[in-house]
Amino acid sequence: MILERVALDHLDKARVQKRAVAAERSLRDVVAGSSGQLDAFLATRDPSPSTQAERNEQFLLRAEAVDKLPAEWRDVVIARDFVGIPLADIAAEMGKTERAVAGVLHRARQRLRELLTDSRETSHDAPEHDQL
């Protein structure tokens, strides 16, 4: 999954920067658990093909929007919203105050809303194909 790979890349960057090995292992466990939670969120009992297609499309739109964020914003959103790392831990990892990270998270979420709104408007404006 795209977000899992991004989160794992984030962990690899932390390792290169000589972060605590124990923290990396615990974060890697969190990532592994979060991908299971994401899979469970995306998959319900016997979803119809159209429901499954819609969920896949929504997931891809969100992943593309996250990918368009500046690197720092993207890292904070993935760590907090997808992996579930507490704000205090993210702040400590980044060497910033919780308030500064909360501001980054707020701006990132605001930008994501804009990107997702734009993508919805674009998809509604697209011409529909004639059926045969």
Angle formed by the axes of helices 21-42 and 49-67, nearest 10°:
140
Task: For residue 93, give every residue at least 6 positions away whose Cβ sits within 8 Å of its Cβ, in sequence order, or none.
Answer: 14, 19, 79
Question: Using CA atoms, how far apart are residues 69 and 66, in angstroms rounded to an integer?
Answer: 5
On whether residue 19 sits in a domain, the answer given is yes
In a domain, 131, yes or no: no
Spatial CA neighbour of 112 closest among 66, 80, 79? 66
Does residue 118 lie within any of the structural domains?
Answer: yes
Provide the whole-model pTM. Answer: 0.57
Tens-place pLDDT, residues 49-86: 888 888 888 888 888 999 999 999 999 999 999 899 99
Domain around 75: 2-124
Residues in the chain: 132
| 129: in domain | no
Residue 116 makes CB contacts below 8 A (sequence gap 6+) with 61, 62, 65
* Residue ranges of the chain with per-residue pLDDT less than 50: 18-19, 22, 24, 129-132
**130, part of any domain:** no
The set of residues, in sequence order, having a beta carbon less than 8 Å from that of 44 and lying 6+ positions away, is 51
What per-residue confidence (pLDDT) applies to 24?
47
- pLDDT at residue 78, as a whole number: 92
The whole-number pLDDT of residue 3 equals 52
Distances (CA, A) of 70 to 21, 65, 76: 27, 11, 10
What is the domain count for the chain?
Answer: 1
pLDDT at residue 55, rounded to an integer:
85
Sign of CA dihedral 101, 32, 70, 42: negative
Question: Is 132 part of any domain?
Answer: no
**What is the structure's pLDDT at 107?**
97
Inside any domain, residue 50: yes
The domain that contains 113 carries what CATH number? 1.10.10.10
